[in-house]
Amino acid sequence: MSVLVTGGAGYIGSHMVWRLLDAGEKVVVIDRLSTGFDWAVPSEANLVVGDIGDPDTVGAVLREHAVQSVFHFAGSIVVPESVTDPLGYYLNNTVKSRALIEACVDAGVPHFIFSSTAAVYGTPETAETVSEDAALHPESPYGTSKLMTETMLRDAASAHPLTYACLRYFNVAGADPAGRTGQSTRDATHLIKVATQAALSKRPFMQVFGADYPTPDGTCIRDYIHVTDLVEAHYLALQHLRSGGDNLVANCGYGHGHSVLEVVDVVKRVSGSDFEVRMADRRAGDAVTIVANADRIRESLAWTPRYDDLEKIVTHALKWEEALSRRNT
């Protein structure tokens, strides 16, 4: 019996593959390598280069590998891109997820764990933390495309023998502490990735998008979660479903945030590089503060994060960025 990881050649998926292998699970990956890399998939896992929207490919993998659980990471993740290419996002994230879920139902796969996002909430109504019961008002096709998949899973699970978890990620960062994988995506736009690239002179400067927000230092606040803690939450969710636990929709964050300037300071301190930081205009669509209420995941899965420390997140991200330079990617 195997576990299927879609998008296993990507950032979070490749960490999941390592976590499963570390636990002695058999793993098969489906990834079309549009943004991921075949070298990111450990050789102990089976890599099938293919599309999750293709029922023949997925059906064959589910049968041949006797898949009992699916982690679904494959998808498009750039919010501004989803605004200019909404139909592309609904195809990749919604239509293809529907095909994948149907293939799983047809094959009788019992457990499905889905990579969702805090973008399903849109701008939080208060500056407090966001709980799972908050209103769902996605403000981009990206957020909507993910929410639609959550809805399909909910309805499919009430009609068929399928249990599921939807994990809503806040700002995922960092890399495998053992240095086996990390964020390798080309042209990444995320803050910690960009700042570590500036620290290593891979870009001449970085920009801070808006310093006039109503926060203590004027910059936006986010809840940065280490990818290893995130992946651990997925593994716990799998164990929960395997032992007969109920369907679960849960936030993945630490419950406290850091401003953009705090992140920049930590990257400068950890790297020892005083790279140039330019103040720039606000970026369209940025909410002021997005911080998780993480009570549910802590309570329902006994999740105890090990890397709730911005210095550790940055240290691991920086180490991976250095390793990528040697790889010439």
Least Å from the CB of residue 279 to ligand UDP: 9
Cβ distance to ligand UDP smaller for residue 50 or 143: 143
Stretch that binds ligand UDP, among 42-50, 185-193, 250-258, 299-307 (CB under 6 A): 185-193
Stretch that binds ligand UDP, among 31-39, 44-52, 67-75, 203-211 (CB under 6 A): 203-211
Establish if 189 lies at the interface with ligand UDP (CB under 6 A): yes
Q: What is the DSSP string of 249-271?
A: EEEES-S--EEHHHHHHHHHHHH
Which residue in the set 120, 175, 194, 277 belongs to the binding site for ligand UDP (CB under 6 A)? 194
Q: What is the token pair recorded at 81?
A: 């891109």
Measured distance CA(236)–CA(239) in Å, rounded: 5
Establish if 317 lies at the interface with ligand UDP (CB under 6 A): no
Residue 281, burial from CB neighbour count under 10 angstroms (0-12, 13-18, 19+): exposed
Establish if 32 lies at the interface with ligand UDP (CB under 6 A): no
# residues contacting ligand UDP (CB under 6 A): 14
Least Å from the CB of residue 19 to ligand UDP: 23
**H/E element holding 313?**
helix 310-327
Establish if 260 lies at the interface with ligand UDP (CB under 6 A): yes
Per-position x/- string for 157-176, each x denoting binding to ligand UDP as judged by CB under 6 A, each - no binding: --------------x-----
Least Å from the CB of residue 257 to ligand UDP: 10
Least Å from the CB of residue 175 to ligand UDP: 15
**Strand segments (E) across 107-245:** 111-117, 163-169, 171-173, 205-209, 221-222, 224-226
Find out whether 3 and 44 touch, Cβ atoms under 8 Å: no
Least Å from the CB of residue 213 to ligand UDP: 8
| CA-CA-CA-CA dihedral for 145, 150, 152, 153, to nearest 10 | 140
Least Å from the CB of residue 276 to ligand UDP: 12
Measured distance CA(296)–CA(231) in Å, rounded: 16
* CB within 8 Å of 261: residues ≥ 6 apart: 208, 211, 217, 218, 219
| CA-CA-CA-CA dihedral for 104, 89, 38, 322, to nearest 10 | -130
Least Å from the CB of residue 18 to ligand UDP: 23
Tell me the sheet residues that pair with 206.
277
Which residue in the set 85, 139, 262, 286 belongs to the binding site for ligand UDP (CB under 6 A)? 286
Strand bridging mode 248-252 / 163-169: parallel
Find out whether 220 and 150 touch, Cβ atoms under 8 Å: no
Measured distance CA(29)–CA(45) in Å, rounded: 7
Establish if 96 lies at the interface with ligand UDP (CB under 6 A): no
Question: Which of 90, 142, 213, 235 does the annotation list as catalytic?
Answer: 142
Measured distance CA(319)–CA(321) in Å, rounded: 5
Stretch that binds ligand UDP, among 84-92, 183-191, 294-302, 316-324 (CB under 6 A): 183-191
Establish if 226 lies at the interface with ligand UDP (CB under 6 A): no
Catalytic-residue membership of 142: yes
Stretch that binds ligand UDP, among 47-55, 62-70, 120-128, 206-214 (CB under 6 A): 206-214
Establish if 222 lies at the interface with ligand UDP (CB under 6 A): yes
As annotated, the active-site residues are 142
**Binding residues for ligand UDP (CB under 6 A):** 171, 189-191, 194, 206-209, 220, 222, 260, 283, 286
